[in-house]
Amino acid sequence: MKRFKARTPFRSGLDPVGRVHPYLVYAAVLLVDLIGVLVILAALVWIGDTAEDLFWPGGHEWVDF
């Protein structure tokens, strides 16, 4: 069985994730989460705009979809 060499932690005390610093992984996860939140908010705005067009057709549009 092949043994892997233990990785030494960074000077900050954090263990590496693959060959990447953990802060980069945290930033990537945060970016994915923010994109998910933006997609959910855009869907809610689109649903609200569609419902508003059903009840009050015409008029000034605040959101152009």
The band of 12, judged by pLDDT with boundaries at 50, 70 and 90, is: confident
What are the Cα distances from residue 45, in Å, to 14, 40, 53, 63?
40, 9, 12, 8
The band of 7, judged by pLDDT with boundaries at 50, 70 and 90, is: confident
**Of 54, 38, 50, 40, which Cα lies nearest the Cα of 64?**
50
pTM for the predicted model, two decimal places: 0.72
- Non-local (6+) Cβ contacts of 65 within 8 A are 46, 49, 50
Task: Please report the pLDDT score of residue 1 as a whole number.
Answer: 65
* Per-residue model confidence as pLDDT tens digits over 17-62: 888 889 999 999 999 999 999 999 999 999 998 898 899 888 888 7
